[in-house]
């Protein structure tokens, strides 16, 4: 029973953080939306390293740092992700977008879509030096919601 209570409390804390992050996305100006989304994930969820790349953007955003260096291989990877990848860093190209790629022991890779079922237009990389932070045994419900919300919010930057 104590474990159930502890897990319930942990889930409530995560839900509250996701709610706060969502509210921040709603009030962010388009020119600061990508940076705000990353910074808030870093702070609220204590993720050491993050990277974001978007493609098929409106001309006003096409020169932003988050719109650079996206290869067809990365786009194919994003298309293949029906759910977030969580697990060890096995040398994905997107890891090179991180500030310190050699420090990324575990990853979560989230394809960003404007709506479920649509083609992805971005990839969000969450990384940790802790090899168990993102692992194949963890549930991905929260990460799926994070990807859905980020995709919907960031879709305003698309062409």
- Strand pairing partners for 120? 113
Long-range contacts, stretch 83-91, CB < 8 angstroms, 24+ apart: 83/140, 83/144, 84/108, 84/109, 84/110, 84/111, 84/140, 84/143, 84/144, 84/147, 85/109, 86/134, 86/135, 86/136, 86/138, 86/140, 86/143, 87/134, 87/135, 87/136, 88/131, 89/127
pLDDT in tens, 16-41: 999 999 999 999 999 999 999 999 99
For the chain, what percent of residues have pLDDT higher than 70?
100
Contact 155, 58 (CB under 8 A): no
Q: How far apart are CA 149 and CA 144, in angstroms?
A: 9
Place of tokens 């969450």: 126
pLDDT in tens, 96-128: 999 999 999 999 999 999 999 999 999 999 999
Running DSSP on this structure, what letter comes out for residue 61? Answer: G
What does residue 49 show for φ and ψ, rounded to 5 degrees? -135, 140
Q: How far apart are CA 122 and CA 132, in angstroms?
A: 25
What does residue 108 show for φ and ψ, rounded to 5 degrees? -130, 125
Band of residue 150 on the pLDDT scale cut at 50, 70, 90? very high
For the chain, what percent of residues have pLDDT higher than 90?
91
Task: Report the pLDDT value the prediction gives residue 104, as an integer from 0 to 100.
Answer: 98
């Amino acid at each position: 029973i104590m474990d159930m209570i502890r897990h319930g409390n942990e889930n409530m804390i995560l839900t509250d953080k996701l709610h706060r992050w969502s509210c921040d996305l709603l009030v962010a100006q388009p020119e600061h939306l990508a940076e705000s989304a990353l910074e808030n994930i870093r702070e609220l969820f204590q993720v050491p390293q993050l990277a974001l790349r978007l493609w098929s953007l409106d001309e006003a955003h096409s020169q932003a740092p988050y719109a650079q260096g996206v290869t067809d291989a990365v786009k194919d990877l994003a298309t293949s992700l029906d759910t977030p990848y969580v697990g060890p860093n096995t040398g994905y190209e997107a890891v090179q977008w991180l500030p310190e790629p050699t420090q990324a022991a575990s990853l979560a890779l989230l394809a960003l879509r404007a709506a479920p079922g649509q083609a992805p237009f971005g990839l969000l990389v969450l990384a940790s030096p802790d090899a168990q932070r993102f692992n194949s045994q963890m549930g991905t419900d929260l990460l799926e919601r994070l990807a859905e919300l980020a995709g919907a919010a960031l879709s305003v930057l698309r062409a």
